């Protein structure tokens, strides 16, 4: 019955568009880099270097530690938000997400401002910064799973004599294991390809694969070696994702589709819960406060001079450049994500393949992507290197997989009955697509728009390669200002960073309220 | 023996339980009736230790358990929607209370088998909970609670949602089981006939508050 | 709901508007009667007197817009990636250590300046066909804080070999050769000095806890004792840094507070070139001529602390008083640099950065 109502035709068209788009803008650049620049001798040369394996090893273990620390740091606030209902819950959850959306170069700089000199250029700084970004992943992914957990299961276990620890180890852990693994995989991915944090907070002596790719491409000018390393990175990331997906397996313990509202905080745990909320808020806000503080410090004096220079054309130009890049990336990215989601949701096995492929797109590092795009589209009519929208293209590819991850579960909540009702009332396939699916999806679509905009605003790797003089995005300008000397210049960097934070928070508020609406729609 | 005195539970500034008192003798089965939303479930959860009590006291066999943690009270609760652990099979569900106490696997399994027989589900040891019918799930939930040998068993609308034939069959089986074991029971239900059939006496919830 | 749809409508409108109004701004300048603006790409250390280009504009009617990258390495990399479709018209700041990268990628078009005969012969010889035009020279050397060493009664190191001694442990800071051109010049100095055994020297420096930072300004203004609250009295900088310390100080000291270890110096030449793909080649040629003219060259010593390449340009006496010009700086044949630079940087990264 469902096959006739949910006709695969629109989905097939969507599939073709998505495959073409990814083929031209993702696969072709990667192939160009591999085919055009890498000879088998390059591969053997780079793979034979012991330093390559040291890089791999360092990248792996710093990611592993970052994942572990993030999970530990995020556990209390995830427990609080996932299982309880209290005033300010939405705000606390939004606060934890701020770190995720902030550009890495900004956060790294903010940490430099907050941490004492003795902790500069240390692994501690790197790991803490990674935890700062990725708390949001745990809170959202594991928190979402906890919300779906029926609280009465825990109560049942308690009446059977299980102490709180036993309840967690025998009942809760088995049911959230999959979500924790999924969160760990995403965090691993981000830490493994971390660039700005390792560079700024770890110092030049510490290199991950990603920073070495940039080093070889920018500094040494050895593009073939950079490409080989990018491939090694891609292989490792895809393998990890594959392994994790295998392990996450079936979903159990979901008693209802619509979650029960979480319970109020247990009386005994009130003080602990308050401490957790306050500590989390401080952790999240401290670096941002540091940025604002630094933006009004010119040398040793407090002054708004740097803020006043924002009227200066070159800095204001970067704000405009970031804004239009982000908006274009948002529009294109959402379009691409909606088409991909349509294909994933309606096309069974092929859909799962596309789903996997979009996750792989997430695994390609932005630096590699930028490099590939620059090296592919550089001839004649296809020479797009000077076009202002070229960077937006890269951002679309970098950010759309995140949007797909938001849209797919939302799309799947549309009950078949609605389609059947609409069909009986005479609506054709395309009509139904718009009226039933897309209309219900509107909040989720807005949420993904906000997400892509925020990612684009903060993206550094590809933008630093592709930005042209005069239309550089804010993160690129911030990095450039930070590398110069001069009190006013430094303060200007922090002013730009503060502005970037403000815009990201605005995008975040959009995402947050839209997602809230999306949940309510899903429950209907 | 259960002794509840002047229990007060406040939630969202609303007095859900307002000075509730109840005495249940050992081996006695008491049914508590009342409309939905009046606080019957909260009463059971308070007795079980799942809800914070603002005033009043609860004692079991002359021990004051008002501030004892839920897992240390020895109160069994059969939930309205069973709350079986989906990631464990039937035998593991039934023997959960024993597992928590550290009983060895083989012994646990034997005990689970015994209880399953008693509730009429022999051979169900390795079934997944998702494959159980409504009636079967309720029997497993009951077996699970009883296997823990609690001081008192609380039933929260235990036969809700069953069709008439199944309902009567289960009612009969449960009653004979309780009579055999001499279990102390507090049975909450909106169905007065069910309460009368299963228990020694019936009380209106409203009369419990002073 | 209304707000949201209008927000979305607004973003689409903005996007379309931006698409229409932008494009290659250079296109606008093609018509003959409109004034041309040349874009000069350069790095953060390009700091001539602010009004110096006004004369050029007066003479030729061409405006000059400066666009700065963070450092020479990034400047060259971006130029290489953008080869044929450049971000600007003229590039200033590729030096002899990075020249081959740019030339290999065909970043420039040739032009022989009218002032050629006035320019330093050695510099011109590095680009004999006018691929690029030399614009200034300098020496990258170890600078030391005189007061710091005097207070502790330690002799400052005068040669690269001396630096390897444990007396100088924890004292040296250098910019990263991979990302910084003075850093690279320093690396080449060690290769010129030690030949094939250069790696050993660096391994010793690693044991001596040499500090490597991203850029020259990081090293000098972030860690050098004489210019910051840092802790390193030895820094890789320019032979013209001591006069800068004198001339920018208030009140002016009679003696320079820092000095240069002359035997550690590496000669650096800087070049400018016309970017291939520019739409204003004739105008760009005029700009190149201006950059090597007496007028512009005489501005160099006191604003950028480099030596003019034009032999007819006079050098201010304060500069001559405090600046050192080594007679026999270390050098490496540019052809060799071209061939082996990537390999050396790779080995360096291996020893020091991974």
Residue contact C15–A327, C-beta within 8 A: yes
**Distance of alpha carbon B147 from alpha carbon B155, whole angstroms:** 15
Residue contact C85–A388, C-beta within 8 A: no
Quickly tell me which residue has 């790696």 as its tokens.
C199
Residue contact A160–B144, C-beta within 8 A: yes
Task: Give pLDDT tens digits for C256-310.
Answer: 889 999 899 999 999 999 999 999 999 999 999 999 999 999 999 888 888 999 9
Residues 6+ apart with CB under 8 A from A427: A435, A436
**Does the pLDDT of residue A110 top 80, yes or no?**
yes
CA nearest to A381 within chain C: C85
Residues 6+ apart with CB under 8 A from C58: none
Question: What are the phi and psi torsion angles at C174 (to 5°)?
Answer: -140, 145
Task: Give pLDDT tens digits for A63-90.
Answer: 999 999 999 999 999 988 888 878 778 7
Average pLDDT over every residue of A173-190:
84
Residue contact B83–A152, C-beta within 8 A: yes
Helix, strand and coil content of chain B, in percent to the nearest 5, comes to 40, 25, 35
- Which residues of chain C lie closer than 8 angstroms to A46, CB-CB? none
Which H/E stretch holds residue A13? helix A9-22
**Does the pLDDT of residue A466 top 70, yes or no?**
yes
Residues 6+ apart with CB under 8 A from A371: A33, A217, A223, A226, A227, A230, A465, C81
Do C139-267+325-353 and C32-137+269-318 have the same topology in CATH?
Answer: yes
Size of interface A-C (CB pairs under 8 A): 110
By the 8 A CB rule, do A337 and A404 touch?
A: yes
- Which residues of chain A lie closer than 8 angstroms to C179, CB-CB? 215, 218-219
Structure tokens at C165: 């001694």
Task: Give pLDDT tens digits for C157-194.
Answer: 999 999 988 889 999 999 988 878 889 999 999 999 99
Average pLDDT over every residue of C206-233:
86
Interface probe with B: pick from A148, A159, A270, most Cβ of B within 10 Å: A159
**Distance of alpha carbon A329 from alpha carbon A288, whole angstroms:** 26
Q: What is the CATH number of domain A38-295?
A: 1.10.3720.10
Which H/E stretch holds residue A119? none
Strands C234-238 and C172-175: parallel
Residues in A 150-179 with any Cβ partner in C closer than 8 A:
none
The whole-angstrom distance between A333's CA and the closest CA on chain C is: 13
Residues 6+ apart with CB under 8 A from B152: B2, B24, B47, B60, B74, B75, B76, B183, B184, B185, B186
Task: Give pLDDT tens digits for C77-125.
Answer: 888 888 888 889 999 999 888 888 889 889 999 999 999 888 988 889 8
- Which residues of chain C lie closer than 8 angstroms to A442, CB-CB? 4
Three-state SS for B153?
strand
The b/e string for A258-290 (b: 16+ C-beta within 10 A; e otherwise) is ebeebbebeeeeeeebeebbeebbebbeebbeb
Three-state SS for B31?
strand
- The fraction of chain B above a pLDDT of 70, given in percent, is 100
Structure tokens at B33: 């009736």
- Which residues of chain A lie closer than 8 angstroms to C24, CB-CB? 386
Q: Smallest Cα–Cα separation from A98: which of A520, A458, A493?
A: A458
Cis geometry, peptide bond prior to residue C251 (ω within 30 degrees of 0): yes
DSSP, residue by residue, A178-234: HHHHHHHHHHHHHHHT--HHHHHHH-TT---HHHHHHIIIIII--HHHHHHHHHHHH
- Which residues of chain B lie closer than 8 angstroms to A268, CB-CB? 52
Task: Give pLDDT tens digits for A321-376.
Answer: 898 899 999 999 999 999 998 888 888 788 888 877 877 777 777 888 888 888 88
- Sketch the domain layout of chain C as residue ranges: 32-137+269-318, 139-267+325-353
Determine the pLDDT at residue C290: 94
Interface probe with C: pick from A196, A469, A507, A515, most Cβ of C within 10 Å: A469
Residues 6+ apart with CB under 8 A from C184: C73, C97, C98, C177, C178, C341, C345
By the 8 A CB rule, do A104 and A194 touch?
A: yes
CA nearest to A166 within chain B: B100
Residue contact B77–A155, C-beta within 8 A: yes
Residue contact A155–B79, C-beta within 8 A: yes
Residues 6+ apart with CB under 8 A from A257: A413, A522
Average pLDDT over every residue of B183-192:
90
Determine the pLDDT at residue A5: 61
Do A38-295 and A1-36+306-524 have the same topology in CATH?
Answer: yes
- Which residues of chain C lie closer than 8 angstroms to A378, CB-CB? 84-85
Interface probe with A: pick from B77, B86, B89, B156, most Cβ of A within 10 Å: B86
- Sketch the domain layout of chain A as residue ranges: 1-36+306-524, 38-295
Determine the pLDDT at residue A253: 38
Task: Give pLDDT tens digits for A213-257.
Answer: 887 877 777 778 888 888 888 889 888 877 777 765 544 433 333
Average pLDDT over every residue of A8-18:
84
Most distant CA atoms of chain B, gap in Å: 50
Average pLDDT over every residue of A185-198:
85
Task: Give pLDDT tens digits for B143-175.
Answer: 999 999 998 999 998 888 788 888 888 888 899
**Distance of alpha carbon B209 from alpha carbon C19, whole angstroms:** 74
Q: Which residue has the higher pLDDT, B56 or A11?
A: B56
CA nearest to A177 within chain B: B87
Residue contact A170–B100, C-beta within 8 A: yes
Residue A218 near chain C (CB below 8 Å): yes
Chain B: partners with 3+ C-beta pairs within 8 Å:
A
Residue contact A51–C215, C-beta within 8 A: no
Give the C-alpha distances (Å, rounded to integers) separating C260 from C143, C233, C237, C263: 5, 12, 9, 9
Residues 6+ apart with CB under 8 A from C233: C144, C145, C148, C149, C171, C224, C225, C226
Determine the pLDDT at residue A248: 59
Q: Which CATH class is domain C32-137+269-318?
A: alpha beta
Cα-atom radius of gyration of chain A, to the nearest Å? 24
CA nearest to A209 within chain C: C354
- Which residues of chain C lie closer than 8 angstroms to A207, CB-CB? 349, 353-354
- The fraction of chain A above a pLDDT of 70, given in percent, is 90
Residue A468 near chain C (CB below 8 Å): yes
Q: Smallest Cα–Cα separation from B190: which of B32, B47, B29?
A: B32
Q: Is the pTM of this model over 0.80?
A: no
Residue A449 near chain C (CB below 8 Å): yes
Determine the pLDDT at residue C11: 56
CA nearest to B12 within chain A: A264
Fold of A1-36+306-524: MetI-like fold (1.10.3720)
Q: Which CATH superfamily hosts domain C139-267+325-353?
A: Periplasmic binding protein-like II (3.40.190.10)
**Distance of alpha carbon A401 from alpha carbon A369, whole angstroms:** 14
Task: Give pLDDT tens digits for C36-83.
Answer: 899 999 987 888 988 999 999 999 999 998 888 767 777 888 888 888
Quickly tell me which residue has 């299961």 as its tokens.
A153
Quickly tell me which residue has 């790197």 as its tokens.
A126
Band of residue C7 on the pLDDT scale cut at 50, 70, 90: low
Q: Which residue has the higher pLDDT, A484 or C231?
A: C231
Task: Give pLDDT tens digits for B1-57.
Answer: 899 999 999 887 888 888 899 999 999 999 999 887 778 888 999 999 888 899 999
**Distance of alpha carbon A167 from alpha carbon A173, whole angstroms:** 9
Task: Give pLDDT tens digits for A366-418.
Answer: 888 888 888 888 777 777 777 888 899 999 998 888 888 778 877 777 667 77
For chain C, what's the residue count? 354
Average pLDDT over every residue of C25-43:
67
Structure tokens at A191: 């830490």
**Does the pLDDT of residue A186 top 50, yes or no?**
yes
Do B and C touch, counting CB pairs below 8 Å (3 needed)? no
Q: Smallest Cα–Cα separation from C177: which of C167, C169, C185?
A: C185
CA nearest to A471 within chain C: C87
Determine the pLDDT at residue C283: 93
The whole-angstrom distance between C201's CA and the closest CA on chain A is: 18
Band of residue A1 on the pLDDT scale cut at 50, 70, 90: very low
**Distance of alpha carbon B93 from alpha carbon B130, whole angstroms:** 12
């Amino acid at each position: 019955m469902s096959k006739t109502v949910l006709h695969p035709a629109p989905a097939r068209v969507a599939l073709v568009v998505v495959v073409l788009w990814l083929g031209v803008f993702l696969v072709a650049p990667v192939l160009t880099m591999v085919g055009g620049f890498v000879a088998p001798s390059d591969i053997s040369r780079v793979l034979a270097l012991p330093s390559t394996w040291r890089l791999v090893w360092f990248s792996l273990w710093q990611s592993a530690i970052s994942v572990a620390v993030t999970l530990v740091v995020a556990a209390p606030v995830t427990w609080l938000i996932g299982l309880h209902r209290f005033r300010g819950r939405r705000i606390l959850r939004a606060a934890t997400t701020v770190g995720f959306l902030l550009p890495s170069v900004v956060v790294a700089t903010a940490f430099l401002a907050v941490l004492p000199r003795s902790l500069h250029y240390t692994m501690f700084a790197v790991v803490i910064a990674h935890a700062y970004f990725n708390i949001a992943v745990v809170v959202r992914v594991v928190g979402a799973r906890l919300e779906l957990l029926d609280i009465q299961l825990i109560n049942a276990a308690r009446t059977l004599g299980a102490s709180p620890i036993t309840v967690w180890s025998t009942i809760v852990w088995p049911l959230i294991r999959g979500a924790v693994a999924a969160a760990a995989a995403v965090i691993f991915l981000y830490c493994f390809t971390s660039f700005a944090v390792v560079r700024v907070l770890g110092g030049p002596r510490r290199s991950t694969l990603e920073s070495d790719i940039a080093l070889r491409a920018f500094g040494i000018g050895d593009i073939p070696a950079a490409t080989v390393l990018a491939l090694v990175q891609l292989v490792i990331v895809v393998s990890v994702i594959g392994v994790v997906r295998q392990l996450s397996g079936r979903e159990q313990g979901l008693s209802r589709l619509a979650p029960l509202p979480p319970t109020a905080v247990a009386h005994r745990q009130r003080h602990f819960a308050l401490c957790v909320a306050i500590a989390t808020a401080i952790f999240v806000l401290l670096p941002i406060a540091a940025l604002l503080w630094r933006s009004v410090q010119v040398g040793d004096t407090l002054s708004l001079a740097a803020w006043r220079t924002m009227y200066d054309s070159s800095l204001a130009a970067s704000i405009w450049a970031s804004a239009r890049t982000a908006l274009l990336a948002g529009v294109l990215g959402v379009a691409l994500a909606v088409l991909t989601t349509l294909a994933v949701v309606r096309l069974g096995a092929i859909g799962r393949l596309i789903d996997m492929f979009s996750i792989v797109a997430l695994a390609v590092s932005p630096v590699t992507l930028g490099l590939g795009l620059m090296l592919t589209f550089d001839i004649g009519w296809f020479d797009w290197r000077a076009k202002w929208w070229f960077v937006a293209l890269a951002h679309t590819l970098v950010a759309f997989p995140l949007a797909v991850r938001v849209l797919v579960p939302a799309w799947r909540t549309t009950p078949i009955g609605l389609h059947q009702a609409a069909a009986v009332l005479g609506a054709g396939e395309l009509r139904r697509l718009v009226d039933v699916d897309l209309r219900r999806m509107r909040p989720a679509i807005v949420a993904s728009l906000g997400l892509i905009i925020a990612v684009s605003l903060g993206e550094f790797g590809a933008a630093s390669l592709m930005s042209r003089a005069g239309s550089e995005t804010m993160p690129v300008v911030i990095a450039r200002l930070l590398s110069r000397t001069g009190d006013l210049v430094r303060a200007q960097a922090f002013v730009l960073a503060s502005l970037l934070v403000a815009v990201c928070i605005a995008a975040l508020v959009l995402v947050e309220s839209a997602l809230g609406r999306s949940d309510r729609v899903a429950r209907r | 023996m259960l002794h509840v005195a002047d229990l007060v539970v406040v939630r969202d500034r609303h007095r859900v339980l307002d000075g509730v008192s109840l005495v249940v003798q050992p081996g006695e089965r008491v049914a508590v009736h009342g409309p939905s939303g009046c606080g019957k479930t909260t009463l059971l959860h308070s007795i079980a230790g799942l809800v914070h009590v603002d005033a009043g006291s609860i004692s079991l066999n002359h021990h004051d358990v008002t501030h004892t943690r839920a897992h240390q009270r020895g109160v069994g609760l059969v939930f309205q929607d069973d709350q079986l652990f989906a990631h464990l099979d039937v035998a593991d569900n039934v023997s959960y209370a024993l597992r928590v106490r550290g009983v060895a696997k083989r012994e646990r399994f034997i005990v689970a088998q015994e209880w399953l027989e008693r509730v009429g589900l022999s051979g169900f040891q390795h079934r997944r909970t998702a494959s159980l019918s409504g009636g079967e799930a309720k029997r497993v939930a009951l077996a699970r609670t009883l296997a823990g040998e609690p001081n008192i068993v609380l039933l929260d609308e235990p036969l809700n949602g069953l069709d008439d034939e199944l309902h009567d069959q289960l009612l009969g089986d449960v009653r004979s089981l309780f009579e055999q074991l001499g279990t102390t029971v507090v049975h909450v239900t909106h169905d007065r006939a069910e309460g009368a059939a299963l228990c020694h006496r019936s009380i209106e919830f409203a009369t419990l508050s002073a | 709901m209304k707000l949201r749809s209008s927000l979305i409508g607004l973003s689409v409108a903005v996007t379309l508007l931006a698409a229409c109004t932008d494009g290659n701004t250079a296109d606008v300048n093609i018509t003959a009667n409109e004034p041309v603006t040349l874009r000069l790409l350069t790095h953060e250390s390009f700091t001539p007197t602010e009004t110096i280009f006004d004369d050029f504009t007066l003479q030729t009617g061409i405006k000059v817009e400066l666009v700065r990258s963070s450092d020479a390495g990034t400047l060259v990399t971006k130029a290489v990636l953008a080869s044929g479709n450049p971000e600007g018209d003229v590039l200033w700041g590729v030096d002899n250590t990075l020249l081959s990268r740019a030339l290999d990628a065909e970043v420039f078009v040739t032009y022989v300046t009218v002032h050629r005969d006035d320019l330093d012969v050695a510099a011109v010889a590095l680009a004999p066909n006018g691929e690029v035009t030399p614009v200034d020279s300098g020496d990258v050397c170890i600078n030391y804080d005189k007061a710091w060493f005097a207070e502790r009664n330690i002799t400052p190191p005068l040669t690269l070999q001396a630096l390897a001694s444990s007396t100088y442990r924890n004292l040296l800071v250098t910019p990263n050769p991979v990302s910084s051109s003075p850093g690279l010049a320093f690396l080449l100095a060690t290769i010129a000095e030690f030949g094939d055994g250069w790696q050993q020297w660096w391994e010793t420096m690693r044991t001596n806890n040499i500090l490597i930072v991203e850029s020259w300004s990081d090293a000098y203004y972030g860690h050098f004792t004489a210019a910051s609250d840092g802790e390193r009295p030895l820094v890789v900088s320019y032979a013209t840094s001591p006069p800068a310390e004198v001339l920018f100080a208030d009140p002016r000291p009679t003696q320079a507070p820092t000095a240069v270890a002359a035997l550690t110096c590496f000669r650096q030449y800087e070049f400018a070139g016309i970017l291939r793909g520019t739409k204003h080649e004739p105008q760009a040629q005029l700009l190149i001529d201006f950059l090597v003219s007496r007028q512009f060259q005489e501005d160099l010593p006191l604003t950028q602390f480099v030596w003019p390449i034009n032999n007819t340009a006079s050098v201010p006496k304060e500069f001559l008083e405090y600046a050192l010009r080594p007679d026999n700086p270390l050098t490496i044949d540019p052809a060799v640099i071209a061939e082996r630079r990537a390999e050396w940087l790779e080995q360096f990264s291996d020893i020091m950065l991974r």
